[in-house]
Amino acid sequence: MTPELMIKACSFYTGHLVKSHFCTWRDVARTNENVALAEKMNRAVTCYNFRLQKSVFHHWHSYMEDQKEKLKNTLLRIQQIIYCHKLSIILTKWRNRARLKSKKKEDELILKHELQFKKWKNRLILKRAAAEESNFPEQSSSEGSLVDETLKCDISLLPERAILQIFIYLSLKDVIICGQVNHAWMLMTQLNSLWNAIDFSTVKNVIPDKYILSTLQRWRLNMLRLNFRGCLLRPKTFRSVSHCRNLQELNVSDCPTFTDESMRHISEGCPGVLYLNLSNTTITNRTMRLLPRHFHNLQNLSLAYCRRFTDKGLQYLNLGNGCHKLIYLDLSGCTQISVQGFRYIANSCTGITHLTINDMPTLTDNCVKALVEKCSRITSLVFTGAPHISDCTFKALSTCKLRKIRFEGNKRVTDASFKYIDKNYPNLSHIYMADCKGITDSSLRSLSPLRQLTVLNLANCVRIGDMGLKQFLDGPASIRIRELNLSNCVQLSDASVMKLSERCPNLNYLSLRNCDHLTAQGIGYIVNIFSLVSIDLSGTDISNEAFCKSSLILEHLDVSYCSQLSDMIIKALAIYCINLTSLSIAGCPKITDSAMEMLSAKCHYLHILDISGCVLLTDEILEDLQIGCKQLRILKMQYCTNISKKAAQRMSSKVQQQEYNSNDPPRWFGYDREGNPLTELDNVTPSKGASELTVEKSTYSSEEQAA
């Protein structure tokens, strides 16, 4: 065997061996790959089945959760339905019981009213019969009974404190008359505490200077408060005031004879004066020089309508110790004061908290800015009759902690003044913005966050509507509001009254005068405001008495010029509002004598009554008023055609103030002397009549407040 063959044999053998081993390895490898692939396929199938099961389970789980949620919601809905059904049953029973109780209470009131009215009529018949039999006037018999009752009770036996409490309510004239009864009564009128305060203004046309001098001389050590308002006295009388060393309050307003010389004597003798009213006097800069030198503790000063002092006089307020304790200042009508004068006030009276400036057309924003630069303690501000005040004044007042603001008749104050009012004046409690034509619903929306607001007067703000009032009442201010005046806000409708009844539980005074869009249905919502003490619905379209039924504490009611009202409202007042003290039914032609008889029988606390234009009333009502309403002080009977002059003259001796004429009602009343509506009216509208009566009533506002 050759080496070549050996090499070939080895090569063949090696190739054959490699080939056999490779085939074997290939078969083994293929077998392993198939096994691995089978395993992978099995795992893939297992994973796919798991994912499929998971997806199915997820969908099933979601479905079950949805079913559970639906079941839960269904159960809750069923529970709510059952709960609402229970509540409905409870509320129905409560409502029926409340209605039954209310009906029972109403029936009791009506029954009580009928019994009292029957007793009243029987007593009235017996009284008239007794008067006819005795042939004596009723007045003399009543006076005789009063004398007998007086003899039975000797007032002088009461303790001194009780006597003082009784006599302190009398005027100076009444005290003098009481002192002339007898010796015991004279001793009672000589109590020292009774002469601490003397008001000579009530007897300015009766008592001469001689008596005033003797009174001041006798009680000079006890005198604390003196009022000479409107008294025409001699200079010697004013000088005698200087002997009252303990005097604290002095009012010499409207005294034409009061001069700088009189003020000099008083300032030297009465250094302890705290309150000084010099309104409408002829004082000059000489008096202004005396104030800081002698009245070191002066707190209240009124210089209203004193036009003879100048800016230099205001500069004198900083002399000596100055008037740094002054907290109240009235500069109404002082048109001579310039911006520099207000700077002098700011320098000398930095502690002012109450500022009143009325009837001052020369007042501008610069004057207010000069004042508040140093007077940052102002809390009460009154600007009426100042047409040049604008939004800039509100911006300047942002440094003050205002609680009360009053602007009237201003056309330059707009919504911009109220934009940040909740941030600048969070403690505002009283806002009077009457007759400010620039105020709209946006201002009311800005006022809604004021939590301390209790009084809001927006009379004659004709651009205010339902939306603005709703936004205001939705805020926290509606909870504390006590007084709301919306007179002549002609855009308000029934929705506003409904919102008021829902959001104002503490409302005491409400005025909706001449709100033309209000109907009887809207005014009926007032029945839900149980806290009302005073309501003014004059000039509105009301025809029923439903609003009276819940007003058991009602004291003041004005339904004048509501021509649809009849005797039913008077009957409702007699049943539900027996505490009524002021009533105006002027311009209500359907009111008759029977209604007024009921009023006289039940409303014994009536002080003010206006029946002007009630053409069906006769002389009989005056007799009823004399017997039933013995506290009546003011009676208005304009255009009462069936009331005679003789009866009115007899009634005038029973009241303090009376207005009467028997002329036919004016054309703007809308009816004739018999109460029949007129077919053709003159160009004069009822609103004009209402405004005329408003002016007339304002003339007697002080007397009404006194009553």
Distances (CA, A) of 304 to 266, 329, 387: 20, 9, 18
Task: Dump pLDDT digits (tens) for 110-148.
Answer: 777 777 777 777 777 777 777 666 654 444 444 444 334
Task: Dump pLDDT digits (tens) for 603-614.
Answer: 889 999 999 999
CA separation for the pair 693, 292 (Å, rounded): 45
CA separation for the pair 368, 704 (Å, rounded): 35
For residue 144, the cross-strand partners are none
CA separation for the pair 250, 287 (Å, rounded): 15
Arithmetic mean of pLDDT, 302-309: 94
Q: How many CB atoms lie within 10 A of CB 251?
A: 22
Q: What is the DSSP letter of 190?
A: T
Q: How many CB atoms lie within 10 A of CB 277?
A: 22
SS3 556: strand
> Amino acid identity, residue 678?
L
| Helices vs strands, H then E, count in the chain | 25, 19
CA separation for the pair 18, 573 (Å, rounded): 131
Which pLDDT score, from 0 to 100, does residue 1 have? Answer: 65
Query: What are φ and ψ of residue 516, in 5° steps?
Result: -65, -25
Q: What does the block give as tokens for 21?
A: 């081993």
Give the residue among 220, 237, 218, 219 at the shortest CA–CA distance from 228.
237
Give the residue among 568, 520, 573, 511 at the shortest CA–CA distance from 538.
511
CA separation for the pair 101, 88 (Å, rounded): 19
Q: How confident is the model at residue 506 (pLDDT cuts 50, 70, 90)?
A: very high
Task: Dump pLDDT digits (tens) for 211-226.
Answer: 888 888 888 888 899 9
Arithmetic mean of pLDDT, 347-356: 92
CA separation for the pair 587, 675 (Å, rounded): 10
Give the residue among 222, 227, 221 at the shortest CA–CA distance from 249.
227
Q: What does the block give as tokens for 284?
A: 């000059």
> Amino acid identity, residue 569?
I
Taking each helix axis from N to C end, the angle separating 494-503 and 466-473, rounded to the nearest 10 degrees, works out to: 10
Q: Give yes or no for a contact between 351 and 326, defined as CB atoms under 8 angstroms apart.
A: yes
Give yes or no for residue 326 having a pLDDT over 50. Answer: yes
Q: Give yes or no for a contact between 446 and 472, defined as CB atoms under 8 angstroms apart.
A: no
Average pLDDT, the chain: 85
Match 């209470």 to its residue by tokens.
105
CA separation for the pair 83, 81 (Å, rounded): 5
Which pLDDT score, from 0 to 100, does residue 175 have? Answer: 81
Arithmetic mean of pLDDT, 385-393: 89
For residue 383, the cross-strand partners are 357, 407
Task: Dump pLDDT digits (tens) for 524-551.
Answer: 888 888 899 999 999 888 876 667 776 7
Which pLDDT score, from 0 to 100, does residue 153 have? Answer: 60
Q: How confident is the model at residue 487 (pLDDT cuts 50, 70, 90)?
A: very high
CA separation for the pair 619, 625 (Å, rounded): 10
Q: How confident is the model at residue 660 (pLDDT cuts 50, 70, 90)?
A: very high
Q: Which residues contact 118 (CB under 8 A, 6 or more apart)?
A: none
Residue 184, classified by CB atoms within 10 Å of its CB into exposed (0-12), middle (13-18) or buried (19+), is: exposed
CA separation for the pair 260, 119 (Å, rounded): 64
CA separation for the pair 367, 382 (Å, rounded): 14
Which pLDDT score, from 0 to 100, does residue 165 have? Answer: 81
Query: What are φ and ψ of residue 128, in 5° steps?
Result: -70, -35
Q: How confident is the model at residue 320 (pLDDT cuts 50, 70, 90)?
A: confident
Which pLDDT score, from 0 to 100, does residue 509 have? Answer: 94
Out of 173-182, 652-661, 667-676, which region has the weakest mean confidence (pLDDT)? 173-182
Arithmetic mean of pLDDT, 673-689: 60
> Amino acid identity, residue 556?
H
Which pLDDT score, from 0 to 100, does residue 457 have? Answer: 94
Alpha carbon 490 to its chain centroid, in Å, reads: 19
Give yes or no for residue 332 having a pLDDT over 70. Answer: yes
Which pLDDT score, from 0 to 100, does residue 546 have? Answer: 67
SS3 583: strand
Out of 258-272, 363-377, 586-600, 680-694, which region has the weakest mean confidence (pLDDT)? 680-694
Which pLDDT score, from 0 to 100, does residue 381 have? Answer: 92
Of the spans 39-43, 122-126, 165-169, 325-329, which averages the highest pLDDT? 325-329
Taking each helix axis from N to C end, the angle separating 620-628 and 645-652, rounded to the nearest 10 degrees, works out to: 10
Task: Dump pLDDT digits (tens) for 167-184.
Answer: 878 878 788 888 888 888
Strand 582-584 to 657-660 pairing: unpaired
For residue 274, the cross-strand partners are none
* % of the chain at pLDDT higher than 70: 92
CA separation for the pair 196, 488 (Å, rounded): 45
Give the residue among 244, 236, 171, 180 at the shortest CA–CA distance from 204.
171
Out of 384-393, 471-480, 671-680, 697-706, which region has the weakest mean confidence (pLDDT)? 697-706
Which pLDDT score, from 0 to 100, does residue 687 have? Answer: 41
Strand 430-432 to 483-485 pairing: unpaired
Which pLDDT score, from 0 to 100, does residue 146 have? Answer: 38
Q: Give yes or no for a contact between 594 and 569, defined as CB atoms under 8 angstroms apart.
A: no
The pTM (predicted TM-score) of the whole model is 0.75
Which pLDDT score, from 0 to 100, does residue 543 have? Answer: 74
Which pLDDT score, from 0 to 100, does residue 685 have? Answer: 41
Give yes or no for residue 680 having a pLDDT over 80. Answer: no
